[in-house]
Structure 1
Amino acid sequence: MKFVDIDIAKVDIDRVNRKGFSEVIYSSGKTAKQIKQIIQVLLDKDESVLATRVSQEKYNYLTQYFTDLHYDVHAEILTTGRPNPELKKGALYVVCAGTSDLKIAWETIDVAKWMGIHVEHIFDIGVAGLHRLLSYQDELQKADVIIAIAGMEGSLPTVVAGLVDAPVIAVPTSIGYGANLQGITTMLSMLTSCSSGMTVTNIDNGFGAAYQAGLMIKRMNRSDQS
């Protein structure tokens, strides 16, 4: 196993060989200087860089040192370096219940695209207007994996999983009124779903859902990569 020890972090430069993708930088709780140091190690090793939860302030700092940064202010996702190979097989659909869930939805989409996945998205199809979701039923049948994002009581993934034969990865968000408990109610609702073929990530974890979907789709592409 290989890593580069820069005192504030031991950067895993062997992860791309084990997992197929380089180490991802979780930026919340790190200073801009620390993020810069880790990015530099990855770039020196010609790896693809993905940093999540990067604030605008930290991004502004990083632009002083790196010229080829791609930043999505809505998702707080930063990428740079060598692109990952396109995964030609497999369609990922990202759906969310409401406009309030869009930050997590865009995080999910950006991470999946960084992994080389073809992504389609459908927004604002929560079950409070069930006819909106049902109008996309034929479209959702094309998906190989679906990520369903919702707050409040979190019923969207349950309904989606009952309509399709693709695996559904449910992402509870912290969107909701008091008894939502910052997403705990949503997560427990999803965990106790009666729909088959559905798994659940942690609250607001769009990154985790996208990465899980990416590993599934990467498996589908093994014959192309051999």
Structure 2
Amino acid sequence: MKNEVIKQTLEQVKSGKLDVESAMEQLKDLPFEDLGYAKVDHHRGLRNGYPEVIYCEGKSVDHIKGIVVKMLERDNNILATRANTEIYEALQDITDEIEYNELAKTVVIKKQELETTTSKILVVTGGTSDIPVAEEAVVTAQVLGNTVERLYDVGVAGIHRLLSNRDKLDDANIIITVAGMEGALASVVGGLVDKPVIAVPTSIGYGANFEGVSALLTMLNSCSSGIGVVNIDNGFGAAYLASTINRQIETALKKNS
């Protein structure tokens, strides 16, 4: 439930246009709504600035549909991650206001337009194989109202590709680096810029990569300053963190304008 909706309800009670019992009925599911198989957190938009995000992996299609139906009753924008084509097709039965990014495995249902930030998030990948995780980050950041730019396949094996794009690095306010193998991209980018770098290790690599553990350890042990690291393949987490930082930047820009 959005702040504006609660304010309108309280104003209606104050003015006598709405009785207390009716207001209580509207607000009764404010903390969460228990569906038996899920407790939909309607309060999250108030606490965190954006409604609950649906992680689809491990959930049945019917459960996902039930959660989406309840969220749509409140006109929320909806982001579902790790969604396969079966889930996408099933959700088309509920609404046609739906977008599917097959690479990112994300479903977006947009009920309202968000104001887009002037400050920019740049998503950078080491290789083309890292793009699915990067796209999850891109979609998440966009849904959260951020201006996002992509810079793909500029890993350290051909570092001239990254260096020839210094203007994009300099223009961004926050940079998300997505890389597998040894995960050195985050250290290189961190050594070039004066802004937050959020590193995402991916599970891309051969045997000794240990499904992303080697990249994770490299990023955690980086000697470059200003790097934060999220979990393996967690493009969503990186973008959400970048968005919270970007909102603070945007607020500061508006205060100083």
TM bucket by the smaller chain? Answer: over 0.9
- Larger of the two Rg values belongs to structure: 2
- Map of 1:5-24 to 2, 5 A cutoff? 5-24=34-53
2:154 to 125, 129, 132: 125
Match status 1:162 vs 2:204:
no
1:84 Cα deviation after fit: 5.2
1:85 Cα deviation after fit: 1.9
Give the TM-score normalised by structure 1: 0.96
- Map of 1:107-126 to 2, 5 A cutoff? 107-126=136-155
Cα deviation digits, residues 161-206 of structure 1 (max 9, x gap)? 1000010000000000000000011101100000000000000000
Gaps of 5+ in 1: none
Cα deviation digits, residues 45-99 of structure 1 (max 9, x gap)? 1111000000111111221222211111111100114235223331100000000
Tell which has more relative contact order, 1 or 2 (C-alpha 8 A, sep 6+). Answer: 1
Supply the distance in 1 between the matched residues of 2:162 and 2:103 (Cα, whole angstroms).
24
- Map of 1:1-226 to 2, 5 A cutoff? 2-83=31-112, 85-222=114-251, 224=254
Paired residues of 1:147 and 1:209 also in contact (CA < 8 A): yes
Paired residues of 1:107 and 1:207 also in contact (CA < 8 A): yes
Cα deviation digits, residues 8-30 of structure 1 (max 9, x gap)? 11100011111110000000000
Moved over 4 A (4+): none
Give the TM-score normalised by structure 2: 0.85
More helix by percentage: 2
Gaps of 5+ in 2: 1-29
Task: Calculate the aligned-residue CA RMSD, in Å.
Answer: 1.3
Supply the distance in 2 between the matched residues of 1:58 and 1:143 (Cα, whole angstroms).
34
Paired residues of 1:94 and 1:119 also in contact (CA < 8 A): yes
Supply the distance in 1 between the matched residues of 2:113 and 2:235 (Cα, whole angstroms).
19
Supply the distance in 2 between the matched residues of 1:73 and 1:202 (Cα, whole angstroms).
22
The 3-state SS of whatever aligns with 1:221 is: helix
The 3-state SS of whatever aligns with 1:217 is: helix
| 1:218 maps to amino acid | R
